[in-house]
A and B are shown apart, each in its own frame.
Chain A
Amino acid sequence: MPQTSAAKAPALASNAKHDVNLAPAQQAALASLKEAVRTAPFVMMEGAPGAGKTLLLQRLIAEEGGHYISGRDITLATTHSANTCTDEQLHTLIEEALSKHDLVVIDDFDAVTALGFRSAGNRRPKYLGVVMRTLIDRARALGKRLVIAGESFWVSPEYHLVPDWQARACNLEMPPMQARDFAFFFSLVLGESSAIDADRIYQYAPSLNAYHLMQIARLAQENGDVSEAALRELIDTRILRSNLRGEEIASITFDDLKGFEGIIDKLTTYLINPLQQDARFDALQLKPKRGVLLYGPPGTGKTSIGRALARQMRGKFFMIDGTIPPEPAAEFFRRIKQVFEAAKSATPSVIFIDDADVLFQSDRSTSLSRYLLTMLDGLESATAGKVAVIMTAMDPNHMPAALLRSGRVELWLETKPPAAATRAEMVAAHVTGLPGAFRNYDAKRLTELTEGFNAADMRRIVADVKALYAADVIERREPQNADTYFEIATRNVRRNKDLLSLAEVGAFSFGAAEASNGRSEAEKKKSRLRDESNQCAGE
């Protein structure tokens, strides 16, 4: 994305009077804007939503005189008559304004560029280039000033016109907000004596915009609680938005995860604690680990850890999973970048890339690993530096070598199939709350039967036991005791595992299901023999 460094580091002291109605960052931006219209006929100003562009533009008009063209004016001017002539109507609108006023300001110009570049119905793409050149030249010839403002003029992939405008413009960018700007917006709502500790809030969520800050202050005022904890709660639940839906987040807590104490301890130490911005550690400047790899066989709880994290992090948790299709490539990267941009605006935050090894095996792998390299510690990563990226992998050997070699995966956490004691705990947790009959089973025997089972398998067993019991009740059969059900369920799960391991190596054959329901060596051998005879008889 092309950026101009203009106004990022205001080099010159501004002689603007102290303006009580503008935040410090906005005062600096207004000073740059005034200087720009004094020295250039055409000015382009970019700023994030909620940075106060409209306020500044209107202030500029109020002080210097001129005409303000809003999205409403553009809508009305381009609505009537044939839709192919939108460009000409836009031209007429601005041209007339320029002939009457010395300064013309167009707000929400992104909408105009989108109309000219992207609108699918536009049968004269790029005619906007003709319109803008005409207007820029007109302003210059008449000694007038034209200012366009928007969130970003860089509309991918039509790169062509914007650089042309930028080469003719004074390019400005709204400076980012600081803690003192936060304090300003809080005091707008709560008065000068606002008890909110703006520094702490700035540390917790530095990318909030003016709307957010005033909304937080109003909510806090209404609740009568301006403590840091209450404000954090508001930010997490009302302001920041994860790309996960609520019901996906709510399911699991860290307490529900059995046998993960080591992993949870590491995640807490290196990720969650630093993300909490605890005031006790301000002097230490704790930073979360940036790249975390959670790896282990399927069903060992990687995604569950993600869910628990999501619940803990709420609005600061973002997910990249299979719901983002890898085709077409342009769309894929647009979505990936969208997630990263959202996470950057909610820093410090977490992006969870589920099944990263599978994702990296796609054709898109080079672009994606280059992108991650940049996000994890590239040149331009001051904001991205506060986004922790957690990747899960069934097989870390399939992760791209460049990404591993770069050393940007800082924390390696292996999830393992649960130990015997953990398996027993899992079943105990699952049957809690069920009728007494289900809780009356031989835990030791069950633990032996489930040797090598993973967390997902253990969940499946309990589900199967319930299903088996229900089937017997419905069919009016005599219900069996819990141990019998557990034994059948265990056998079923083990048979499934055998089948899938056959299919995985391409050795699955029809009918093998009957044969491989046991675990003994003899049975396996029989099944192998049968496989061979099947193959001989194969059609």
Chain B
Amino acid sequence: MLTVTDTARVSTNTPALPPLSPAQAETYERLEEAIASSPVVVLESSVGFGKSFLVQRLMRQHKAAAVTLVDLLHSTANTGHAGMEAPFMALVETAFEGADLVILDDFDLVGAVFSHPFYARTKMVEATLHALMQRARSQNKCLLFLGSDFRSPYEPEKMDFSFFDGRMLDLEAEHFTEADYRFFLGLALGEAAGQSLPTKRIFDYSPGLNGHQLRQLGALMKEHGRSDEAFVREMIDTRLLITNANVGEIADVKFSDLKGFEQIIADLTTYVLNPLKGDPRFDDIGLAPKRGVLLFGPPGTGKTSIGRALAHQMQGKFFMIDGTIPTEPAKDFYPKVQSVFHAAKKAAPCVLFIDDADVLFQSDRSTGLSRYLLTMLDGLESETSGKVAVIMTAMDPNHMPPALLRSGRVELWIETKPPSESVRNEMIAADVARLPEAFRSYDFNKIANLTAGFNAADMRRIVSDVKALYARDVVEGRKIKAVDDYFAVAAGEVRQNKVLLGLAEAGALKLGQQPEAANPPGAGAGRTEKQKKASRLRDESNQCGGE
């Protein structure tokens, strides 16, 4: 029982067709040309382009029949076995009976089933499609496939129509421009309102929005009676864009919380954030963000903190690749990374943050991976609207793949450094600011030398340890010591940990030969010379060992 939607013989009093947006109209024209000249036409458009409006128009203008997804679902129901080719072929053949043009809409989804490796008769459909093409050719008819992302990066095994072997016309839909944005928002808010909207600003802010998103944006503007730029940006960031970062899981850090980062923040703002914002004052200059940024520096110097602050500032325009995407197995890794790149492109201009990139590149598949990333970065560059700033962090830039560095794709090198003495003092002051008075009466000079070379994480750790030591003495009913004593113990322990990890990293940590871990209060200072020597030794052995 086949039900083919056939509206070729429509009566003249049917309602007027809905208008098309400029990009849709342009695509429609090219589609008409293609149908007239080829037995098979494939039109690929991105999600939410509005193909169904084009289909509607074609149905009105031609002797056409459409095979819809609903038709397919009905024809395969109760078949009792997995094979779907025969009902599919019967549907298309019936459609050909009374029509010159057969339209297969949303064929990306159908093709995904037919070509899936777990499908009972994988790729059998190619024979079916080939037969249907022959029929269209011999009868001078046309078979039109429509779908979004046929060449989707998500699925390597996806149907690619190569079996048509050049006997088809392959079209790609136009991209939306500001004019399309005005069109869609006008649909939701009325044409008059559409004209007065800051569509240029909205388009610059997020040129990758699709038709669904634009209509929802219009509905939100109507619902809240607001159309100012700030509101629109907020709606885009929090309701429309889908980032792979869970902002709620990212510790709330503001740039102003970062001590001693003035220059780094200034650089990021000048070369990345300002250009990404799309300020109308610079429309005629055409600001472009730096595409590749390498944030490098020793551990604990604030690279991840910068990422956190960026995430909160960029919201829906912040994407990331971090350790939660395992490089094994490769068949899972690559699609996942690809989907992040894909989503970032759609949300451009935006930031893609690759945390611990040097560690990522040291994985087993590093060669393949760096070639792959190079290509993906190229892909971002070639995209006309692709203002995706890729920010990578590295503990050691020497471990970054030379090809990536040599390619010049890293346009901005930013080094994070261990804090100076005065910044270290500021850090402690900020950390103890909200603690009881007793903790604030410390004398930094007593630990200034002891903390030489310490990074931001170390300084945070010291304050944390001071609190823990104090709490222990309270819990166990011991005598409470002076705050400076706690600070000295904590600083001494952090330094000792650094020595141990340096030795272990160099493979030189001997069991049973380390000084007793317990560090009596006040004794910390006396130990530093020995520890300095150990740390120097460690540094040297590191350098010898480094590639």
- Among A21-29, A55-63, A196-204, A372-380, the stretch in contact with B: A372-380
Q: Which of A134, A269, A330, A377 contacts B472 (CB 8 A)?
A: A269
Q: A85-B78, A333-B326 are contacts. A35–B216 as well, Cβ < 8 Å?
A: no
A378 touches B322 (CB 8 A): yes
B359 contacts A407, C-beta separation under 8 Å: no
* CB of B449, distance to nearest CB on chain A (Å): 20
Query: How many positions in chain A have a CB within 8 Å of any CB in the partner chain?
Result: 114
- How far is the CB of B59 from the nearest CB of chain A, in Å? 14
The answer to whether A412 touches B76, judged by C-beta atoms less than 8 angstroms apart, is: no
CB-defined contacts of B234 to chain A, threshold 8 Å = 11
Q: Which chain B positions have C-beta within 8 A of A368?
A: 326
Contact segment of A249-257, A277-285, A494-502: A277-285
Max count, chain B CB within 10 A of own CB: residue among A164, A286, A375: A164
- Closest beta carbon of chain A to B441's beta carbon, Å: 15
Q: Does A97 contact B (CB under 8 A)?
A: no
Tell me which of B213, B216, B250, B471 contacts A278 (CB under 8 A).
Answer: B471
Does A347 make an interface contact (CB < 8 A)?
no
Judge whether B436 is part of the interface by a CB distance below 8 angstroms: yes
Contact of A168 among B48, B247, B356, B395 (CB under 8 A): B48
Write out, one digit per residue, whether chain A residues 153-167 have a CB within 8 A of any chain B CB (1) or not (0): 000110110011011
A283–B440 Cα gap in the complex (Å)? 13
Q: Which of A131, A379, A385, A407 contacts B311 (CB 8 A)?
A: A379
Q: Is A115 an interface residue (CB 8 A)?
A: no
A105 within 8 A of B: no
**Is B112 touching A379 in the complex (CB atoms < 8 A)?**
no
Task: Identify the closest chain A residue to B395 (Cβ).
Answer: A405
Within the complex, the shortest CB–CB distance from A494 to chain B, in Å, comes to: 19
Q: A159-B154, A411-B497 are in contact. Are A379 and B300 (CB under 8 A)?
A: no
A195 within 8 A of B: no
Q: Interface stretch among B170-178, B287-295, B328-336, B401-409?
A: B328-336
Chain B, 230-273, CB within 8 A of any chain A CB: 234-235, 237-239, 241-251
The answer to whether A399 and B504 touch (CB under 8 A), given A133-B69, A371-B326, is yes
A299 within 8 Å of B by Cβ?
Answer: no
Q: A156 touching B243 by the CB < 8 A rule? A: no
Which residue of the partner chain, among A124, A160, A167, A367, contacts B363 with CB atoms under 8 Å? A367
B537 within 8 A of A: no
Q: Give the CA-CA distance A273 to B470 in the complex, in Å.
A: 11
In the assembled complex, the Cα of A330 lies from the Cα of B362 at a distance in Å of 20
Nearest Cβ in chain B — how far from A406, in angstroms? 5
User: Which parts of A328-344 form the interface with B (CB within 8 Å)?
Assistant: 328-330, 333, 337
Whether B118 lies near A3 (C-beta < 8 A) is no
Size of the B side of the interface (Cβ < 8 Å), in residues, is 122
Does chain A have a CB within 8 A of B518? yes
CB of B304 within 8 Å of the partner chain: yes
In angstroms, Cα B539 to Cα A507, docked, is 36
Q: Mark A392-433, 1 if CB is under 8 A from B, else 0.
A: 000111010110111111111110110000000000000000
Q: Does chain B have a CB within 8 A of A322? A: no
Question: B125 contacts the other chain (Cβ, under 8 Å)?
Answer: no
Any B CB within 8 A of the CB of A38? yes
Contact residues in A for B119 (Cβ distance below 8 Å): 123-125
B504 touches A413 (CB 8 A): no
Is A380 a contact partner of B246 (Cβ separation < 8 A)? yes
Cα(A296)–Cα(B82), bound, Å: 59
Contacts A269-B468, A375-B323 given: A127-B113 contact, CB under 8 Å?
A: yes
Determine the chain B residues whose CB is within 8 A of the CB of A363 once the complex forms.
Answer: 328, 364
A404 to B359, CA, bound (A): 12
Known: A329-B326, A380-B250. A366 touches B517 (CB 8 A): no
B356 — which chain A residues lie within 8 A by C-beta?
370, 373-374, 378, 402, 406
The residue in B213, B234, B359 that gathers the most chain A C-beta atoms within 10 A of its C-beta is: B359
**B355-395 near A? 1/0 per residue, CB < 8 Å:** 11011101110000000000000000000000000000001
Which of B308, B328, B436, B501 lies in contact with A333, CB distance below 8 A?
B328
Question: Are A284 and B244 in contact, CB atoms less than 8 angstroms apart?
Answer: no
| Contact partners of B135 in chain A: CB under 8 A | none
A382 to B248, CA, bound (A): 8
Question: Are B468 and A167 in contact (CB-based, < 8 A)?
Answer: no
A9, B235: Cα distance in complex, Å: 11
Interface centre among B219, B358, B501 (most CB of A within 10 A): B501
User: Contact partner of A405 among B76, B458, B461, B501, CB < 8 A?
Assistant: B501
The B35-88 residues at the A interface (CB cut-off 8 A) are 47-48, 52, 68-70, 72-74, 76-82, 84
**Pair B249/A382 contact, Cβ less than 8 Å:** yes
Asked if B17 lies at the interface with its beta carbon under 8 angstroms from chain A, I say: no
Report A246-303 residues with CB < 8 Å from chain B CB. Answer: 262, 265-266, 268-270, 273-274, 278, 280-281, 283-287, 289, 295-297
The verdict on A536 contacting chain B, using a C-beta distance below 8 Å, is no
| CB atoms of B322 and A379 under 8 A apart | yes
Q: Beyond A9-B247, A35-B223: 12 further Cβ-contacts under 8 Å?
A: A11-B238, A39-B220, A130-B109, A167-B212, A262-B518, A366-B327, A370-B323, A373-B323, A378-B324, A405-B505, A408-B299, A412-B497
Sampled A-B contacts (25; CB under 8 Å):
A3-B249, A5-B247, A82-B80, A88-B73, A88-B76, A91-B73, A123-B82, A124-B84, A130-B109, A130-B113, A133-B109, A157-B332, A167-B212, A167-B213, A262-B518, A270-B468, A273-B475, A274-B471, A278-B475, A366-B327, A370-B359, A380-B250, A384-B249, A414-B511, A414-B517
